Chain A
Amino acid sequence: MPLLEVSALRVSYGGVVAVHDVSLSVERGEIVCLLGANGAGKSSTLMAISGVLPDREGTVTFDGRELARVASHEIARLGLVQVPEGRRVFPEMTVAENLQIGGIRAPSAQVRTQRMERSYEMFPRLLERRDQLAGSLSGGEQQMLAVARALMSDPALVMLDEPSLGLSPALVEATFDTVRQVREAGLGVLLVEQNAGEALEVSDRAYVMENGRVVLSGPASQIRNDPQVKSAYLGL
């Protein structure tokens, strides 16, 4: 059974349907990317999975458990965590405090400390800025922090919403390296990206959304060679 299985997901905002009938799955140790134009419904899909949007239909099963009636903080506790679009860190808290919030459900203070050390190993930059307010970090640093904070909960699956948005080429490279690292740790990754070329390179499988529907899905290598995808997303 896949780690995450979404079937017939439907999301609406005050009666306006943004996502129709989306089905997808992610296995452990797999990177799956979700591509699509602006407004296709990618972020809405992620937010519905993590329970932030209550107006949803369809089923979301995570680790064998149906999430329909589970509150979003409980979903995080079960091991499914989202890094939302736009580097949402807690600006008035320090880097260390942001990480601690991520580890709020850790079984003990020692475990939390271990995970913090692990985050700092992964992102030495954050160690340097440990006591700096998160709001004063650079865009790239905030993005690192958002990812590190998500990993603090020791999740089984991470959903990343456009982690490379607005980053310099070097940092984009670093971000995708992080995604690979996360997978190597045995986690599942659901990645939303505009940067389709890079995303398809790191991913195992891909889904393409259009107007709230999945219009194409398959192994990343196959999607990369799809003529429609090539012209629409890869600019080839």
Chain B
Amino acid sequence: MTTQATTSPAPRRVRPRRRPSLGIIVGIAVLAALALAPLTGSRHSLGIWTVALIFAGVSSGWAIAGGLSGLIPLGHAAFFGIGGYASAVVFAKYDLSPWLGIVVGMVIAAALAWLMTVLAVRFKVRGPYFALYTLAWAEMLRILASNLDYLGKTNGVLVPYKVDAGPADLQFSDPRGFYLVAVGYAALAMIVFLLVKRSPLGWRLSAIRGDEPTAAASGVDVARSLTRTMALSAAMTAIGGGLYAQYIQYIDPELAFNVSVSIDIAVRAILGGAVLVLGPLLGSVAMTSVTELTQKYMDALPSASLLVLGLAIIALAHWFPTGIGGLGVRLKRIWSRRSDRV
């Protein structure tokens, strides 16, 4: 009996359970508000916000790697594009549910991310080199897709309308349907991010981010932690690519794999705060708002949105290196200090 007791797997949880943070509560509130917003009857720019939410999810996927591990992946268009093509091809060519296509995309993206990271670890590609290295992978895929007949070369793949389509085909007669799918995806991506952050893996990642050789010398399996993280991050990103292609009913090499897509994904997360659950959502909302507002009021200057964003990033990097979300964290700290005093 006693031997049984000693051989039974011991509890592995190493981190004390934490109270739900302010970030989570605000996150739930924001997502609920977003989900309910179109029900008020206002459908103003629903399309824009659907895309913004898809990108919030994609950026949360990026942040699993880019925020938690300290790696700076700059080629997430690779995974986004794989998700997009997989869902489009599976639906358009094989007449199967795009949901299945998204799963296929997740698997391929995860496998590619795994391979990329194994090689990067093996050859010690880190820091800015890792950024360029991942960017090169996305670029390779762009060229590949532009030249493959199977993927329609530079024309890409069209997602056909289906008669009597339903949610299983990711086509909705009411545009609010897809909007809700986007809210759901953003929520899922944030939950996965949070689970990783608070798991033993997240805790290893935080050590790797702090000091990689020391983490390794303390017994942290750096290679395994990083490959797993990148694979998961890629899979979460691929879902967003799949949803995006289904939403705009079309995917081509530029929409899928262009460098600007990779940068967009990373910037949204960094803008909002890549180590915070809410960061990518905030960053995405901010970025879409800036783009929309500048297009509306400064349309004489076509690239004004880029200018405004650039300035915003510089200002944030200077005053709030942890992003817009960092502002909240700081306010919370001031608040709790005040309430301590009372």
Q: What is A's interface to B at a CB cutoff of 8 Å?
A: 47, 50-52, 71-73, 75-77, 81-82, 84, 88-93, 97, 100-105, 107-112, 149-150, 153
B2 interface contact, C-beta 8 A:
no
Please give the distance in Å from A52's CB to the nearest CB on chain B. Answer: 5
- CA–CA, A82 and B14, complex, Å: 22
Neighbour of A73 across the interface among B14, B15, B222, CB < 8 A: B222
> Total A-B pairs in contact (CB under 8 Å)?
88
B41 contacts across to A, CB distance below 8 A: none
Q: Do residues A91 and B15 form an inter-chain contact, with CB atoms below 8 A?
A: no
Question: What is the 8 Å Cβ interface bit string for chain B, positions 196-222, against chain A (1 contact, 0 not)?
Answer: 000000011011011101111111111
- Contact of A100 with B214 at beta-carbon distance under 8 Å, contacts A73-B222, A93-B207, A105-B219 already known: no
Complex contact B14–A84 (CB within 8 A): no
B116 to A: closest C-beta gap in Å? 20
Give residues of chain B (247-262) contacting chain A, Cβ–Cβ below 8 Å: none
Which B residues from 1 to 49 make CB contacts under 8 A with A? 10-15
Tell me whether A109 and B14 are in contact (CB under 8 A). Answer: yes
Task: For B211, list chain A residues within 8 Å (CB).
Answer: 88-90
Is B10 a contact partner of A101 (Cβ separation < 8 A)?
Answer: no
Establish whether residues B10 and A149, one from each chain, have CB atoms under 8 Å apart when the complex forms.
no
Given A90-B206, A91-B210, A93-B210, does the pair A101, B218 have CB atoms closer than 8 Å? Answer: yes
Q: Which residues does chain A contribute within 8 Å of B222, judged by CB atoms?
A: 73
Q: How many residues of B contact A (CB 8 A)?
A: 24
With known contacts A84-B213, A90-B211, A97-B203, A102–B10 Cβ distance under 8 A: no
Residues of chain B contacted by A76 (CB below 8 angstroms): 216-219
Q: Closest 3 A-B residue pairs measured CB to CB? A: A108-B10, A90-B210, A76-B219
Whether A101 contacts B13 by the Cβ 8 Å rule is: no
Q: Verify B218–A149 contact, CB threshold 8 A.
A: yes
Docked complex Cα distance between A126 and B214 (Å): 19
Interchain CB contact under 8 A, A52 and B207:
no
B136 to chain A, nearest CB (A): 23
Question: How far does the alpha carbon of A149 sit from the alpha carbon of B214 in the complex, in Å?
Answer: 11
Query: Looking at the complex, which one of A90, A97, A105, A108 makes contact with B214 (CB distance below 8 Å)?
Result: A90
Decide: B218 and A153 in contact? CB cutoff 8 A: yes
Residues A84 and B214 in contact, CB atoms below 8 Å apart: yes
B218 adjacent to A109 (CB under 8 Å): no
A88 and B204 contact, CB distance less than 8 A: no
List residues of chain B with CB within 8 A of the CB of A112: 14
Separation of A71 and B122 alpha carbons in the complex (Å): 11
CA distance A113 to B210 in the complex (A): 23
CA distance in complex: A92, B210 (Å): 7
Q: Which residues on the A side are within 8 Å of B221 (C-beta)?
A: 71, 73
Q: Which residues of B contact A110 (CB under 8 A)?
A: 10
Contact indicator A72/B217 (Cβ below 8 Å): yes
Q: Are B13 and A109 in contact (CB under 8 A)?
A: yes
B220 pairs with A104, CB closer than 8 A: yes
List 12 A–B pairs whose Cβ atoms lie within 8 Å, in order of A's numbering: A73-B216, A75-B217, A88-B213, A90-B210, A90-B214, A97-B15, A100-B15, A101-B203, A102-B219, A104-B14, A111-B10, A149-B218
Bound-state Cα–Cα, A90 to B210, Å: 5
Do residues A73 and B10 form an inter-chain contact, with CB atoms below 8 A? no
Residues of A within 8 A of B203 (CB): 97, 100-101
B15 and A104 form a contact (CB under 8 A): no
Q: Are B206 and A92 touching (Cβ within 8 A)?
A: yes
